[in-house]
Structure 1
Amino acid sequence: MAVQAALRRRYRATVPTRLRLLRAATVLLTGALAVLLLVAGLTTLGTWGGVADRDAPRTTSAADLDLALNDMDAQAANILLANGDAGQGRLKTPYEKAVGFYGDARRRIGHDLRTLAVAAQGSRADEKTVETLTDDFAEYQELIGRALANDDHHGGRPAALTDYRRATGLLRTRLLPAARTLVSSNDAAFDAAYSSARHTLATRLDAVLALGALLLAVLGVLQWYLARRFRRILNPGVLAATFCTLFAVVLGAQLLSTSAEQLRVARRDAFDSVVALSRARAVAYDANADESRYLLDPQRRGQYADAFLAKSQQLYGLKGATLATYDARLAATWQTYEGDHQDLRFTGEFRRELDNITFPGERAAAEKTVETYAVYQRDDRKIRALLAAGKEREAVEFCMGWQPGTSNTHFGAWMAALDRVEGINRAHFTSSVEDGRSALGDLLPWAAGLLCVAMVLTALGLRPRLAEFR
């Protein structure tokens, strides 16, 4: 009898202790899992804020600065070309449009420099680049202003050309390289932040799954212990807590995996194309400016013809092509590509975009961009042919006119096509950011709430059993 009494006392002392230990382990693991999900959610929310409000805007601002600098210089050349002799023989519509576009580009540059100055804070190299750019841009504006003022006087064209050459030299040697350095550095910073965020999400997903599996195992042990000690098949409270935990783990894993996938779509599928197309647009404006410079400055026509070809190669690269052979080779390689999208006979920014086709309608829009580019390229040959034939006035009018069928009209059609394909990628970038944020708002409260409910249900399920030992 004494032995039986001792065993009963030991049993009564051991069972509630074990139940309390299992309850404590369940509560601690549930709380740890809830904290992990909340921290992961808040960190991911910060990631989306960084992507949408810092990383992408500062990269696109740098790309827009590159574009605006090229546009401003092109419009300065167009103003000089259309001005005639101190306003005599001026091409009225091209002149007025060039003046308007020149002002727009100058204002965009000022805005982009301010945006980049804010974005550069914390990076001494970028801060120094923006400071130098601002100073150089002030010098550039002074040179262009002198060129335009000189051209408004009879006999002032030689002095205007001298100032314009100096301004263009400053643009090519200092302004554009600095702007492109900012594009590369900001894009690289975005890419590093993206890689770090993806790694963090993957690590936390693993942690959620491991912690969730451990918590479910503890709940399983608790259920088994209750069934064995109290001769009951299942404890309703613990069973409900187990299901709540399982759903919370599934929702947490879905939250993290969805965030990782939407982040990949935003960066790799959408923004990589936005960067490639932004670079293509800046190169396009620079090439268009080379046409105006070619007409404006007879002494440097060879230099500007070579520059135009180099930029064409950046956009649609054809190894060994010259201006005389470029059109035929473009047509031949494009026809081959249309039959086989894996054909690699051309390179460049267009190729980069065509190799990253992801979204509905993107391929058709990208292919339309190349087709309108081919039309613009043929216009360039016509301009050079007219000039070679001694028809300089006709060449200038065809280059700068805005009537249907002129080079400017075809350039506008090319840029509109580029806008469409870039717009598709920008829209999907925005929607991916919104979907990522939405996943947090939809899933995180449910996951955290289910874990809180699981803690309560575990406590309620054990309460009657512990009461038996009071």
Structure 2
Amino acid sequence: MSSSDAAFEAEYSSARSTLSAQLAAVLALGVLLLAVLGVLQGYLARSFRRILNPGVLAATVCTLIAVILGSQMLSASADHLRVARHDAFDSVVALSRAIAYDANADESRYLLDPRRRDRYEESFLAKSQQLYGLKGATLSTYDDELAATWQAYRAGHRDLRFTGEFRRELDNITFPGERTAAERTVDTYAVYQRDDRRIRELPAADKEREAVAFCMDWAPGTSNAHFGAWMATLDQVVGIDRGQFTFSVEAGRSAVNGLLPWAGGLPCAAMVLAASGLRPRPAEFRQRSASRASSRSRERWTRRRVVSLMAWAS
């Protein structure tokens, strides 16, 4: 799971960087296009003595909407990606079953291999600390410290005396129903931990058979039954996060599919509108130029005529 999490984090970081670069490019290009259209509108107003060119104005509106929609699409995609990665997937990683099953296996090995009991006891404690970390705790003190710190946390959610994967999940509560399910998971975990102490106490009292039965049976009230209850509550939390992960992925795709055609089509429409708005202007410019040339020609003819009349009169 850790290797998959690292690979996912690398992909996530790359995708976030790409989205940020695309958003910056859309904003920069949009501002540039709007500035060009604004300058063009001003030039046409001065040259042809008109307040606004309808085609260029429509192109400006299309460009502005395209920038807004493109920015909204990229921002929504980045937000859904963050929710999927950190709010949902981080919790799935924190609540991986692997550590729990390894700890349960160490508990069984403790009974089946008496010569290595110290090793399996240390391994079980190490995995317990990974899940619900209590600094300096031993198996003999773990239960009391777990109960005290968990009670303090439930009172205000601010107690910082425990760490581990459960803490990682509890600090990442995001979705409806997630906190209740996560807290129930810790409650069932505490029951399983208390069962472990009984499993270790029974062999010390020469009750190996009772210890094996309590550890490996699935009857109600046994350690495996409580382990199953713990896994069931854990699955409830993971189910909530997986559901939200799927929802965020689908929402991100929906945002892209819904806005991309508009964000891509509007710039094309802007080009067509700008071209249609500018199309009559060259003919109008030539007509104005011809009119000015004709006017200058008449003025020259009139001056020559006046000069001729004055010469004849003199």
Pick one of 238, 254, 268 that aligns with 2:72. 254
Where in structure 2 are the equivalents of 1:154-233 lying within 5 Å? 183-184=2-3, 186-233=4-51
* Matching residue's letter, 1:262: H
1:465 aligns with 2:281: yes
TM-score scaled by structure 1? 0.59
Match of 2:309 in 1: none
Match of 1:325 in 2: 141
Match of 1:414 in 2: 230
- The CA deviation at 1:194 is 1.5
Match of 1:71 in 2: none
Match of 2:121 in 1: 305
* Matching residue's letter, 1:413: A
- The CA deviation at 1:192 is 2.1
- The CA deviation at 1:389 is 2.1
Match of 2:61 in 1: 243
Q: In structure 2, how many angstroms separate the alpha carbons of the residues matched to 1:410 and 1:282? A: 17
Q: In structure 2, how many angstroms separate the alpha carbons of the residues matched to 1:469 and 1:317? A: 81
* Matching residue's letter, 1:237: G
* Matching residue's letter, 2:7: A
Q: In structure 1, how many angstroms separate the alpha carbons of the residues matched to 2:57 and 2:123? A: 74
Q: In structure 2, how many angstroms separate the alpha carbons of the residues matched to 1:297 and 1:189? A: 37
Match of 2:258 in 1: 442
Count of residue pairs brought into register by the alignment: 286
**1:30-79 CA deviation, whole Å, 9 max, x = no partner?**
xxxxxxxxxxxxxxxxxxxxxxxxxxxxxxxxx3xxxxxxxxxxxxxxxx
Match of 1:272 in 2: 90
* Matching residue's letter, 1:337: Y
* Matching residue's letter, 1:448: G
C-alpha RMSD of the superposition? 1.4
Q: In structure 2, how many angstroms separate the alpha carbons of the residues matched to 1:446 and 1:273? A: 36
Point out where structure 2 has 5 or more consecutive residues left out of the alignment: 287-314
Q: In structure 1, how many angstroms separate the alpha carbons of the residues matched to 2:249 and 2:104? A: 35
1:344 aligns with 2:172: no
Match of 1:51 in 2: none
Q: In structure 2, how many angstroms separate the alpha carbons of the residues matched to 1:322 and 1:191? A: 34
* Matching residue's letter, 2:30: G
Q: In structure 2, how many angstroms separate the alpha carbons of the residues matched to 1:284 and 1:196? A: 32
* Matching residue's letter, 1:417: T
* Matching residue's letter, 2:85: R
Pick one of 398, 416, 424 that aligns with 2:240. 424
1:370 aligns with 2:186: yes
Point out where structure 1 has 5 or more consecutive residues left out of the alignment: 1-62, 64-182
* Matching residue's letter, 1:449: G
Match of 1:387 in 2: 203
Match of 2:106 in 1: 290
Q: In structure 2, how many angstroms separate the alpha carbons of the residues matched to 1:192 and 1:324? A: 41
**Identical residues among aligned pairs (%):** 77
